[in-house]
Amino acid sequence: MDGDDPQKSLAGEENGEERNDRFYKVLEKDWDSEDDREKLLEAILVILRELRGDDASKETIEVPVADPDVDAEMFDHGDYEGSMFDADFEERSKFIPLRLSPRERKVQRLVDNCLKVSEYTDRVDQISNKRVHTVMKNSYALMSGVIAGISFKTGRELVNSRDFAAQKELIAAAFEISRRYHLGNPELLRGNYAKLVHMLQDTMLPEVREQLNFSCVSELVTVHHFLKQRNILAIVRDPLAANATKEIIPGRKSRPEINAEIREKERAVERLARKYGGGSEAVEDEIRLALYSLGDNNAFLRASRDPCDEMIAYLTKYFSDEEPLRVSDSLAIMSGRGGARLTHDHRRQYEYVLQTLWLWREVLHDLCKLMIIAERDLLNPNEPYVLRNTGQGIHRLQRAPRLKREMELVVKRVRKRVSFCLLPHPPDSSKCQAAMHAVFRLTNCSLCRALCRYRIGLDRMLFI
Average pLDDT, the chain: 75
Cβ-contact 176, 218 below 8 angstroms: yes
pLDDT tens-digit readout, 89-100? 788 889 999 999
Q: Alpha-carbon distance 387 to 385, whole Å?
A: 7
Point out the residues of the chain with pLDDT beneath 70.
1-87, 419-464
> pLDDT at position 325, please?
79
> pLDDT at position 363, please?
92
Domain ranges of the chain: 17-23+31-51+98-212, 222-296, 319-463
> pLDDT at position 53, please?
53
Number of neighbours of residue 300 by Cβ within 10 angstroms: 20
> pLDDT at position 424, please?
52
> pLDDT at position 44, please?
65
Nearest in space to 168 (alpha carbons), one of 221, 200, 214: 214
Dihedral over alpha carbons 108, 111, 112, 117 (to 10 degrees): 170
pLDDT tens-digit readout, 17-32? 455 555 555 555 555 5
Q: What angle do CA 219, 178, 104 make, to 5 degrees?
A: 95
pTM: 0.70
Q: Alpha-carbon distance 42 to 46, whole Å?
A: 6
> pLDDT at position 130, please?
84
> pLDDT at position 24, please?
53
Nearest in space to 438 (alpha carbons), one of 184, 197, 218: 197
Number of neighbours of residue 287 by Cβ within 10 angstroms: 25
Dihedral over alpha carbons 166, 168, 173, 175 (to 10 degrees): 130
DSSP string, 139-173: HHHHHHHHHHHH-HHHHHHHHHH--GGGGHHHHHH
Cβ-contact 346, 323 below 8 angstroms: yes
Q: Alpha-carbon distance 141 to 132, whole Å?
A: 14
* CB-neighbour burial class of residue 213 (10 A; exposed 0-12, middle 13-18, buried 19+): exposed
> pLDDT at position 461, please?
32
> pLDDT at position 21, please?
56
Q: Alpha-carbon distance 367 to 301, whole Å?
A: 9
